[in-house]
Amino acid sequence: MRAAFHDCFPGSCDGSLILANECLDREENTQIQPICEILGQKAVEYKVSTADMIQAAAAFGVAACGGPKTYFLVGRKDSNSPNAEGQLPTQDSDAATQIKAFKKKGFSSTDLVALVGAHSAGMSLQELSFDSTPDKLDSTVFYPETVQETSPTSLGSDFALSNATETKNIWKGFGASQTRWNSAFKLAMGKMSIMGNDLGKLTDCSKLV
């Protein structure tokens, strides 16, 4: 899931995370370097675009962790030209910085808060999970534990969103309803997964997920 975000958000879902060596050259990608290597090899093995392989891994990863079945489209064109640097919010970004960065890319505050719910199945560099059920995408655990500071660890950026005026009620809503989060996450993930691509030229393979 993180690889999908890091490939798309800087500009386009085009496989440049792997093909332009962004995974190796940029500090924010250090943790996902092993994933990049595997996905790059699989794209060659199965003769598909690297961009599609990254998004396939995300879609199946979400499903494997008990999340919603997300949209899965194929037909993205690969690029070995790097996307712009400095586009990703950091783990310490305040809420205003995150909201501004996402708005610039066409995402609402609801999209932003929904997407960070993927951290429910994530771990820190110190191998501490972001909630008490790291193998499951469960919004009713992740969101409450973050705001209540009861998770094994949290990102400063997530805690900031959980308390900010513009996002705290959205955060609370996802913590109260898995169904609400599932719907919002599916839409936000779908929007993200086609960044920089012409939707009319993509083929919907969502039934495979």
Active site residues: 6
Tokens of 191: 């929007």
Nearest-angstrom CA–CA distance, 151 and 175: 14
Task: Report how many helices (DSSP H) and strands (DSSP E) the chain contains, helices first.
Answer: 11, 2
Rounded Cα distance, 54 and 2, in Å? 10
Query: 203: part of which helix (H) or strand (E)?
Result: strand 203-204
**Alpha carbon of 46 to those of 15, 56, 146, 180: distances in Å?**
15, 12, 39, 36
